[in-house]
């Protein structure tokens, strides 16, 4: 299938600055996301979709492509997020490389920023294809504007080809996925689909229906600052206590030493001085029992420090999201349909667990099983991010194919 406006649409989307902000308390967390959603609403109106609504409480934009047949089809949905990750978005300047030669890519000659084959061997998979890269100073925003582009292009194609029978297709674009808050306010009851798909994956063929269980623990350490010349028996140095606390975590159970279904602890952020320190850890595991054990261990770490130094550590522990696989495994129609659709467009499905989460991790627990599908890009969240146009087209093809296959 041909999507003549896909590249132009994608380049237009990535030039919107929609970085989310974890420190913000508003919905969405940044006003630029509102601007982008308003623009998307206008584009959906041009496609003559039904039930177009931009909810200015949760800031989800939803719409429907109505069924064009009386035959029984599942009511399905496609979801993507409008925000981008916590990386520079000032002056996004995408570069289009046609017929990529498979060699190192100079992203920014002046700053000597090079995406090399040695560091990124997967570049060899893209020889002869069209790549969209950054200029080496910002992220691209393909996560998840590639997904938005693919959904809009696929819906446009279906609306222009009424000979393709399908049931009701719902779409939703929402904020703040990157900071883990957007789906908290998703109206699953109003979306009302049998199942849905987040278009928020990575490389060609990825299909993910298992995610981490996720929690966060924040330790606050209260020290005692005394002049070092008279500190004996008095000082409690929050810096060194924090270092000792960190040393109690398993050395190899961290992201840089784990893969597949292996869980981890990550010291995500730390601020410290003698009188006080704060440490933020995230806790991840696919297995629910191991996840609960990890949380208990994180609490016991604080207990050990308090037993040694007195009550110097307070902590706050909360769950962030859960493994959507525990829901989806009860009814895998959505996975089966997506897997067959990917095969039908000539791609080999890559079914792997997400070492992270998507909006689908939360939406699945709201009653809509929501696995995740590839968008055709790599190296998200940084200056080496890129998308492949031909693989984006395959993602749109997959959406169209799912629409055909979603029969009751």
Tokens 């792997």, residue located: 352
Residue 143 in marked binding region: yes
Q: Tell me how long the chain is.
A: 408
What does R_g of the chain's alpha carbons equal in angstroms?
A: 23
How far apart are alpha carbons 181 and 362 in whole angstroms? 10
Residue 166 in marked binding region: no
Residue 381 in marked binding region: yes
Residue 251 in marked binding region: no
Give the max Cα distance, the chain.
85
Q: What's CA 342's distance to the chain center, in Å?
A: 20
How far apart are alpha carbons 143 and 145 in whole angstroms? 6
How far apart are alpha carbons 321 and 41 in whole angstroms? 29
Residue 178 in marked binding region: yes
Token readout for 246 is: 């960190």
Q: Is 114 exposed, middle or buried (0-12, 13-18, 19+ CB in 10 A)?
A: middle
- Phi (first) and psi of residue 366, to 5 degrees: -90, 0
Angle in degrees, 0-180, between the axes of helices 333-344 and 389-405, rounded to the nearest 10: 130
Q: Which residues are catalytic?
A: 83, 177
Annotated binding site: 81, 143, 178, 200, 381
Binding residues for Zn(2+): 81, 143, 178, 200, 381
């Amino acid at each position: 299938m041909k999507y003549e406006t896909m590249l132009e649409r994608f380049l237009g989307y990535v030039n919107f600055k929609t970085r989310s902000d974890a420190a913000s308390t508003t919905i969405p967390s940044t006003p630029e996301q509102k601007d982008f959603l308003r623009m998307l609403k206008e584009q959906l109106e041009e496609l003559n979709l039904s039930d177009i609504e931009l909810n200015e409480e949760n800031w989800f934009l939803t719409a429907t492509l109505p069924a064009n047949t009386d035959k029984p089809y599942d009511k399905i949905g496609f979801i993507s997020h409008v925000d981008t990750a916590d990386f520079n978005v000032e002056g996004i300047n995408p570069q289009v490389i046609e017929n990529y030669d498979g060699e190192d890519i100079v992203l920014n000659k002046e700053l000597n920023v090079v995406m090399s084959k040695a560091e990124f061997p997967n570049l060899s998979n893209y020889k002869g294809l069209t790549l969209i890269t950054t200029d080496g100073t910002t992220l691209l925003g393909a996560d998840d504007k590639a997904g938005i582009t693919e959904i809009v292009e696929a819906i446009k194609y279906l609306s222009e080809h009424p000979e393709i029978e399908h049931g009701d297709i719902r779409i939703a674009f929402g904020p703040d996925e990157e900071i883990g808050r957007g789906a908290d306010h998703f109206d699953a009851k109003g979306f009302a689909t049998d199942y849905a798909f987040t278009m928020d994956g990575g490389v060609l063929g990825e299909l993910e229906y298992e995610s981490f269980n996720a929690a966060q623990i924040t330790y606050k350490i209260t020290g005692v600052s005394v002049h070092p010349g008279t500190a004996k028996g008095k000082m409690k140095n929050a810096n060194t206590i924090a270092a000792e606390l960190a040393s109690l975590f398993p050395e190899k159970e961290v992201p840089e030493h784990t893969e597949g279904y292996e869980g981890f602890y990550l010291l995500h952020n730390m601020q410290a001085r003698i009188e006080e320190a704060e440490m933020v850890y995230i806790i991840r595991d696919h297995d629910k029992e191991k996840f609960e054990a990890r949380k208990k261990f994180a609490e016991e770490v604080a207990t050990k420090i308090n037993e040694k130094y007195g009550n110097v550590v307070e902590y706050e522990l909360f769950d962030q999201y859960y493994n959507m696989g525990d829901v989806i495994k009860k009814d895998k129609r959505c996975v089966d349909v997506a897997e067959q659709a990917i095969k039908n467009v000539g791609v080999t499905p890559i079914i792997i667990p997400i070492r992270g989460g998507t909006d689908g991790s939360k939406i699945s627990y709201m009653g809509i099983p929501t696995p995740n599908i590839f968008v055709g890009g790599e190296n998200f969240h940084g200056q080496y991010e890129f998308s492949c146009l031909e693989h984006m087209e395959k993602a749109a093809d997959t959406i169209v194919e799912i629409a055909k296959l979603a029969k009751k």
